[in-house]
Amino acid sequence: MTTPVHPKTSARLEVRISPEIKALVQKAADLEGRTLTDFAIASVQAAAYRVIEQHQTLKLSIEDSEAFVDAILNPPKPNDALKAAALRYKRIMSV
């Protein structure tokens, strides 16, 4: 007989911090009228979104942007290495 699995509605995250940092975070939470838990969750979530966005966003200089657009609009003709790679790919994929 199997035991039914009940999905958890929340997950637990534990951290150990110094008393000084806890007091600092508690003060910030108090200033915003939030519980320490609510403040910590919102802060961690905001930081996570910020880090993910920084790593998933490509930022180009004006010169790089112009070179990218130029390469898209005016692609170079395929060289011998690219033509050979395309032939190898077609041979492999047709098997």
Query: Per the domain annotation, does 5 fall within a domain?
Result: no
Residue 55 covered by a domain: yes
How far is the C-alpha of 17 from the C-alpha of 23, rounded, in Å?
A: 10
Decide if 12 is inside a domain. Answer: no
Structure tokens at 1: 């007989």
Q: Is residue 69 part of a domain?
A: yes
What is the structure's pLDDT at 10?
Answer: 87
Inside any domain, residue 73: yes
Residue 39 · residue 47 · CB < 8 Å: no
Is 8 inside any structural domain? no
The conformation of residue 50, written as its DSSP 8-state character, comes to H
Q: What is the mean pLDDT of each run of 10 residues along the chain (95 residues)?
A: 64 94 98 97 97 93 96 95 96 88
Does 46 reside within a domain? yes
Domain count, the chain: 1
The dihedral over CA atoms of 26, 29, 30, 32, expressed in degrees to the nearest 10, equals 160
What predicted TM-score, i.e. pTM, was given to this entire model?
0.57
Containing domain of residue 36, as a range? 19-93
